[in-house]
Structure 1
């Protein structure tokens, strides 16, 4: 009786292990017949190694040992790289580039057949370097700074045209930074300083010219006023002014005659007695 009770757990354990192994074998067999393509991916169906078709997201049936599915990421990828180029005026330019791109889902199978899954390093990175060099050589260093948005847009278009035949879409292209040689940076600073000095000199000249014009205008106005005054002086006006001066002198007289006349003969004032 004791032996029977001891063998029961062992039998149950063996049956449990056999069940788990059986389930695993069934899942393994099923996995050989089915494949799941996750979101943001396209499955490239290979039949004896040759590209047969592309599979969308979801569960798909495949033949084990005959067919294989390779997953291609079609989500937007970001690549940041540094590119070195020469400008039209032979200035060395170092640029930091940021590119957003993705593989077109409908062309994923062809992209895999031509390039493979490593298309970012095999195709995108060299294309970015080439396009940056080509467009940079068309502009001077100064234009790369002043027309930066235009240059970025031109590189975007050139890069998009270059990658389109492979089924790669360029979503965005940005020039994060431009870096030039130390001598060029110093030359730019000196040019800006010279422009500032020229603007200041021009302002000072304009200010001096304006002040001179103001003084000339004022002098002309004063001369015109004097001319008008001279034109208004008539004999009648002079006689009137003379009468006004005499009137003012009479009003200020204190009643005493001067003791000395203009001829140098003393004039003696006798006291008034009131008798005749």
Structure 2
């Protein structure tokens, strides 16, 4: 029986079948390679390292919330597809707000307020603070940004508001002079009270420099000079008064001494005059007589009167 051959039909050979199997295995190999790459990339992302002096705030990407308890320093496991971690420093930091960028501030960060008289006052200030670890999640949930951005937005505005409340109730001369320390303490107290709910612990607040308009500074300097001159004159007058009082006391002392001496001399003379009698005088003269009669002429009578013979 004759075999009918269909045109175009061809029996597959062993070599072509082997090639198909090879392509299949190669495809599977590339698939495993891709899976391995994904695993290698994903595995490191499942761990997060929180640096010393920081806390890690766990952010839930799907729900949009954050964990109430932050992660401490060290290595932590997480799901890289559903969670993220934001680090906040909890060590002491210092925010410097100054006109000169060389002082460490970003550009011109001076604080501008007005005094009680409405005079503009600019200040260079610094705020040292720490973050309370347990309140770091609340801080992130409130501002949704990094700590440096919070410093130069919210903290700067809080400092300006506190200083305006304090400086706005005082004369500019008092702020520049005797009440500068009081201004610092009052502003620090307001900052401590208002920043505490967000976890900021204020350690120190400082006013490094105060600047006022030139005309105001000239008037204050002139007033200070006049006050200094008046104080000098008052001190000189007081010195002269003390000196005059001292001289008066000395003169009174000398007069009293002279009077006492004169009184003593007068009393001595009185007592002496009462004690001198004719008999005493004759006795004293007799003690000093050498027994010779004085040579006299005329009608003179000798001073010594010899007693008459019995």
Q: Does the pair score TM above 0.5?
A: yes
**Which deviates more, 95-104 or 197-206?**
197-206
State the Cα distance separating 1:98 from its structure 2 match: 0.4
Mark the runs of 5 or more structure 2 residues left unpaired by the alignment: 1-33, 98-109, 275-310
Which residue of structure 1 aligns with residue 65 of structure 2? 51
Distance 1:102 1:215 in 2: 65
1:97-117 Cα shifts (integer Å, max 9, x gaps): 001123321111111111021
Evaluate the alpha carbon distance shift between residue 147 and residue 229 of structure 1 in structure 2; reply closer, same or farther with a 3 A threshold.
Answer: same
Alignment match of 1:128 (pick from 136, 139, 159): 159
Aligned-residue CA RMSD (Å): 3.2
Secondary structure of the corresponding residue to residue 192 of structure 1: helix
TM-score normalised over the length of structure 2 = 0.60
State the Cα distance separating 1:125 from its structure 2 match: 1.1
Which residue of structure 1 aligns with residue 258 of structure 2? 225
Secondary structure of the corresponding residue to residue 50 of structure 1: coil
Distance 1:214 1:64 in 2: 91
Distance 1:123 1:151 in 2: 21
Distance 1:49 1:68 in 2: 12
Which residue of structure 2 aligns with residue 152 of structure 1? 184
1:146-175 Cα shifts (integer Å, max 9, x gaps): 122222111111012222222222221111
Q: Does 1:171 align with 2:203?
A: yes
1:62-116 Cα shifts (integer Å, max 9, x gaps): 1131222222232322211121212224333221100112332111111111102
Aligned length: 219
Contact 2:116 2:171 in 1 (8 A): yes
Evaluate the alpha carbon distance shift between residue 122 and residue 49 of structure 1 in structure 2; reply closer, same or farther with a 3 A threshold.
Answer: farther
Alignment match of 2:216 (pick from 184, 192, 196): 184
Q: Name the structure where strand makes up a greater proportion of residues.
A: 1
Computing the radius of gyration over CA atoms, which structure comes out larger, 1 or 2? 2
Contact 1:49 1:68 in 2 (8 A): no
1:241-265 Cα shifts (integer Å, max 9, x gaps): xxxxxxxxxxxxxxxxxxxxxxxxx
Secondary structure of the corresponding residue to residue 146 of structure 1: coil
Distance 1:127 1:195 in 2: 37
Secondary structure of the corresponding residue to residue 66 of structure 2: strand
Contact 1:44 1:51 in 2 (8 A): no
Mark the runs of 5 or more structure 1 residues left unpaired by the alignment: 1-20, 238-276
Alignment match of 1:70 (pick from 86, 96, 108): 86
**Which deviates more, 220-229 or 106-115?**
220-229
Which residue of structure 1 aligns with residue 120 of structure 2? 92
1:11-54 Cα shifts (integer Å, max 9, x gaps): xxxxxxxxxx9997654221122111111222121222523312
Evaluate the alpha carbon distance shift between residue 24 and residue 190 of structure 1 in structure 2; reply closer, same or farther with a 3 A threshold.
Answer: same
